[in-house]
Chains A and B, each alone.
Chain A
Amino acid sequence: MPPSPEAPRPPDERRHRFESVYAAHRARILGYALRRTADPQDAADVLAETFLIAWRRLDDVPPGDAAKPWLYGVARRVLANHHRGERRRSALVGDLAGRLRTDLAAHRPAAPEGDLAAIAAAFGELSDDDRELLALVGWEGLDRAEIAAVLGCSRNAVRIRLHRARRRLARALDRHEAPVPHAHALPAAAINGERA
């Protein structure tokens, strides 16, 4: 049952709730940010600011699984601000950014080659909106209802936009003659049963 926003939580309960939300979602929010910015400092800021907002608005954080799209929605707005140049260096981040920078150097794969490069190129041609929608599915693993919550639109709108985004990616893959990996061998444009 959702908590009443009017009912103040005892401090301990509040901390516990925050800690459980944080533990459950911190890696995926960091992952979300890292997948969308090359700058570990930005990613660290997005992580810190997203959970700072969650802490401050804990009563607004939906219970259970619904917390996930709520957090992605917050992270999305925080990240958008960074991309708009409204950089807010959060001191909360501490040395996290520095550590991420060092550690990421070891983790981040080189530029994609071959098949992956073609897929990435086709993906890169899509509009920001299309890419984000496809990424929310392919990278974040969200379902339509969750995406609707992240983007603040209806499920039906998500369904339609997702359909179109997939079709546009399929066409772009065709243009790039992206050799679709053997494991899922299928002509890109055939995915939606049509030729561009």
Chain B
Amino acid sequence: MNHDIDRLVGRIAPVTDDTAADLLTDDTAADLAGRIMLAPADTAEPADTAAVPAPRRARRRLAIGLPLLATGVAAATVAAVLVARPGGSGDPGGHAPSGGAHPRVQLAAALTFTRKGHYIDVRIRDPYADPARYRKEFAAHGLDVDLKLVPSSPTVVGTVVMEGTSEGTRPGDVSEIRVKGACEVASGGDDCTVGVRIRIGYTGSAQIVFGRAARPGEQYQSSNRADARGEAMHGMVFRKRPVSEVLAALKQRHITVPEYRVMVGNESVARYPGQVPGNWYVHDAVLWAPGQVVLFAGPKPTEDDRPASPPTAPAPTPTAGSGAPSAP
């Protein structure tokens, strides 16, 4: 019996797997696979395994290879979405020296470089420093590292939002410092990157983007879910709720809504306060800037995503919107 209703659903599938297979030609697919496999992965030589005391951490690789950065896509482009401020040791403001066993080689003004065996662990001390200064400090350690900090929602502050390394970078040259269990990662899992560990003597180049706190009014370039723990709308029920009700709840938290996104046909378009009826429904919300969120709204409780004209994800986002911050 159920097969019949399932078959009805099947009949309205907008695209079949066969069509998808036609669209993804062998050449295109091979190109993509090639680029994916450029991304460093767990490939440590077996000999390393016994020698390295903590092989799993030491072999952890960066999220993305160079191609990502080389093309100059939006600065917030990431593969791993790192979403929550890790507690304890990950906090760049409260970084605690880990004792006499790992003497800090240099206490730099903008960065901390902590020597650990054959590696240097790098964390941010001054998130508003001029990127040129970071570069100088890395250079002082013989490292070619381009570090940027982008304004981020609170739980992303202090985490790495994008990393890339030059071709020829070997496994173990640059790795993430992760704290497990401290946060919620949008792509799954619960460990967050809080810094990078670079092999002493690494001669390649690396580019790293960390999240920093946004100044008042400054748009986020990287954000967590609006209702993630520690973010502006944590604990709020807003999906499928009337706009007026959500606005009232936001007001209590002193959060304003400078813009909305509504679907017009297939397109997500901007609307401004006063242009969205209070009896419309909120579909989703995105963190926009300190004390500001953008609401996705429509006349129905949920976005009508009938297959033939399904909604796209909202077009303008804090990272793509207004052009300014995202294009390097």
Contacts and interface: CB of A to CB of B under 8 A. Distances in A.
Given A96-B32, A99-B28, A87 B187 contact: no
A42 to B, nearest CB: 6
| Contact-residue bracket for chain B | 35 or more
Contact of A87 (B11, B69, B309, B319): B319
B67 interface: yes
Contact of A92 (B1, B28, B32, B46): B32
A186 B16 CA distance: 25
A129 to B, nearest CB: 10
A81 B186 contact: yes
Contacts of B247: none
A191 B2 CA distance: 7
Given A11-B43, A85-B286, A18 B37 contact: yes
Contacts of B312: 37-39, 42
Interface of B is mostly: loop
Interface of A is mostly: helix
Contact of B68 (A6, A91, A128): A91
Contacts of B10: 138-139
A82 interface: yes
Contact of B32 (A47, A104, A162): A47
Contacts of A169: 5, 8-9
Nearest to B186: A81
A19 interface: yes
Interface in A106-136: 107-112, 116, 119-121, 123-124, 127-128, 131, 134-135
A104 to B, nearest CB: 7
Interface stretch (B19-27, B192-200, B210-218): B19-27
B13 A78 contact: no
Contacts of B77: 88-91
A59 B41 CA distance: 10
Contacts of B70: 91
B310 interface: yes
A87 B313 contact: yes
B314 interface: yes
A92 B46 CA distance: 29
B44 interface: yes
Contact of A37 (B32, B310, B317): B310
A38 B311 contact: yes
B20 A119 contact: no
Contact of A81 (B44, B74, B81, B261): B81
Contacts of B43: 8-9, 11, 14
B140 interface: no
A27 B29 CA distance: 9
B313 A88 contact: no
Interface of A: 6, 8-11, 14-15, 18-19, 22-23, 26-28, 30-31, 34-39, 42, 47-49, 51-53, 55-56, 58-59, 73-74, 77-78, 80-94, 96, 99-100, 103-104, 107-112, 116, 119-121, 123-124, 127-128, 131, 134-135, 137-139, 162, 166, 169-170, 173, 180-181, 184, 186, 188, 191-193
CB-CB nearest 9 A-B residue pairs: A138-B9, A31-B20, A27-B21, A85-B286, A39-B312, A31-B17, A138-B10, A111-B308, A91-B68
